[in-house]
Each structure stands twice: as C-alpha cells, then as structure tokens.
Copies of this chain bind each other. A is one copy, B any other.
Amino acid sequence: MAVVRSDRRADPRSREAAGGARRPVPDRAHVRGLGTPGCRPGSVGTTGSRRADIPDLPSSPGQRPGSAHAARAAWRRHCRVRAPTDPGREPGGARRVSVVRLGRIGYINCYPVYGAIDRGVTPLAAELVTGTPSELNDLLAAGELDLSVVSAVEYARHARDYILLPDLAISCDGPVRSVALFSRRPVGQLDDRTVLLTASSRTAVDLLELLCRDVWNVRPRMAQARAEAADLDGLAHLPHEAVLVIGDAALLLAARHAYPHRYDLGEEWKRWTGLPFVFAIWAARRAADQRAARAVHHTLLAARDWGLAHLDLLAVAAARATGVGITDCRSYLAGLDYALTDRHLAGLTDFFRRLAARGLVPDGSLQFLQVA
C-alpha cells in the first residue's frame, strides 16, 4: 500500500537543505550531498535570510549506545580523542574550514531554542546540523561540530574536550512526557524480559539502567532498535516486553495507548531523588573559537527567550510536524525547562555521581564557557 508521507517527517535532517546560504564557503566545495552532487550539506551561514513563516522542525532519526565489546569501544575512543596530526587542521577538529557548526536535535523539544533562528528573528552566525541526540553526540566528539545540544551524559564522558554553555539545557522537574518506557507489564516484572532501547538516546538509556538497577530492582535483557517516529510501526513487530522511546516518537506512541504501562523517566527520577533531571545540555568543544562560541551562546539565549514567549506559535508548528494535537504540543513544550540553574545542576551532578559510582562515566566536574 502506498501512503502519502511528508518528506520532512520521514527524514527531518534533509530539511536544512532548504535554508539559504549568505556566505560563500569555497573551502567546502568538495563537501557534497549524498544525493545532490556538488551541493553543500545543510544550510550554511546566518539564517537571517529565512522566512519567518517557514514551518518548524519535525522529528528525527538515530544510533546505538550499548552492546559493543569493551575493547572495540576502547579502540573507537582511541580513534576519536587523539589529537589531530595534520598541522593544517584546526586543533581538535577534523575540518580545515572556519564556519562554526552548531548541532540541533530534530525533535520539537528544540523548537523553543531554534524556532527564532529558523524564522530569522535571531540571526545565527553558524551552520546548523540536525540529527538525533546520538548522531550529534558522535559528531561533536569527532570534531565535526563546534557546539551542539548533546545528551547530558556526553558531557561527563568528554569533559576533557568539552565546555558547558551556561544557562541552557533541556530538563524537567517531574514528568517530561517525551522520554518514557512503554511496557506490557508492570516494571517490577521486567526481570529477564526484553526491553528495546531506542538507538537515538544515551542519557535516557543510562537513566533507565540506573532505575532498573537501583529503584525497580530488575535486570531486563536490553536490545537496541531503531525507534524514531517513522520506525514505530516496524518496532511493533519486534518481540519485546517494553520499549524505551524518546522525542517526538514518545509523544506519538503515548497517543496510541498501545501499552498498558507507561513510565515517564523524568517523573521516576523526581520520585527517586526529588531533583529535576537534565536530559540535554549544550556543549562547545574546548578547541573551538571561544569568541565564536560566546556569540552562538548569546544567540541561543536570545532565541530561547523569543521561543518561550511564542509557545503558541511553536505549538502550531510542532503539531504540524508531528501530528500530535496543538494543545498537547503546547502543554508539552510549556512543561519543559530550558534553563540551567543551580537546581538543575544539582540534578545533573547527582546523575553523574550515580553513573560514576557504577563506573559508567569518569569522575569529573563541570566547567562552563566564560561569558560576560
């Protein structure tokens, strides 16, 4: 059966090709799109040229955290973190070009931060790259991005190479709605049962593991699967007792009422610790140009202020992108928190502390980009 699909829904990353480029970037002329020889990937330059009435970002695709053999993981880390040997390259980066690259998650939960940028309300002197959290995590680690919103846990894993952007995060103080375990049985009965893990997330997977081990006292069998919005129908046919889904896909799956049990991971964390939970932070590579990073940070804060003042408008765009109702989108976006204050930091460091106690991340501390 052929069905009509929005192209942007099925593959949100491709949306950026529609953006206009103001700056010539001759050095990157060799970087071509997979399907469009000769064109640059993504929109480049200030996005002020974009129309204010363009539709917003849709849901997005993913990767995998677990199941790698230890030595393999070590080898990969080795590949990634070693200093570049080519003197003609930026320190810490694999690129020779000077355009700043900023990562963006393709879920609607990023609308309040990127909506003003997409509409040209807040011009951004950077190229945007859209991906799943997992994809952005890897691209920032590889030096392909200078700054990005990434899984919170990625900061703990790469604190030597990253610096946090102050006062900006995606967090919740109670239910988050878009990070949930959908289950066919009560969570206490998941011992030895199969839980599918979205390949798009890292922080949610780590949080789920902590909850299973320390709160629910169960040890399910974990299996990774593709679990973006476009994957939900296929996911139904993989055998499992529960599935961890994030982002727009989690909102859509909740609306289907296909599982008798749904555990909101923000809510579970709050019940356990009494603290807010920080799912995503913005980080810059330490090797990135600090002045440019500060400029991007300044833009992001201004864009967020605009976004939070225009949630009605963003909810309409979010509903169009996901198929979730406008009212639902509005209340979802309003329920998220985009600040990073001491309260949030208490939640973040408590999470890191628990992961470090399990040997899942190195011990460390938070370091922030210095801003005026």
- Are A237 and B66 in contact, CB atoms less than 8 angstroms apart? no
- Are A239 and B85 in contact, CB atoms less than 8 angstroms apart? no
Known: A64-B63, A231-B61, A233-B14. A138 touches B4 (CB 8 A): no
Residues of B within 8 A of A295 (CB): none
Chain B residue at smallest Cβ distance from A157: B69
Contact residues, A35-87 vs B (CB, 8 A): 35-37, 41-42, 60-77, 79-80, 82, 84-86
| Bound-complex Cα distance A95 to B192 (A) | 9
| Bound-complex Cα distance A371 to B16 (A) | 55
| Bound-complex Cα distance A114 to B206 (A) | 37
Known: A69-B360, A73-B70, A86-B192. A80 touches B234 (CB 8 A): no
- Are A73 and B68 in contact, CB atoms less than 8 angstroms apart? yes
- Are B361 and A36 in contact, CB atoms less than 8 angstroms apart? no
| Bound-complex Cα distance A37 to B253 (A) | 12
| Bound-complex Cα distance A187 to B16 (A) | 28
Q: How far is the CB of A213 from chain B (nearest CB, A)?
A: 8
| Bound-complex Cα distance A156 to B358 (A) | 28
- Are B239 and A145 in contact, CB atoms less than 8 angstroms apart? yes
Among the stretches A128-136, A268-276, A326-334, A336-344, the one at the interface with B is A128-136
Question: Which 10 residue pairs of A and B lie closest in terms of their CB atoms, listed nearest first?
Answer: A64-B64, A13-B234, A138-B223, A34-B236, A33-B236, A142-B221, A11-B234, A70-B70, A71-B359, A61-B226
Q: Can you report 10 A-B residue pairs in the complex whose CB atoms are below 8 A from each other?
A: A5-B10, A33-B236, A34-B235, A34-B259, A42-B237, A63-B63, A64-B64, A129-B237, A135-B224, A135-B225
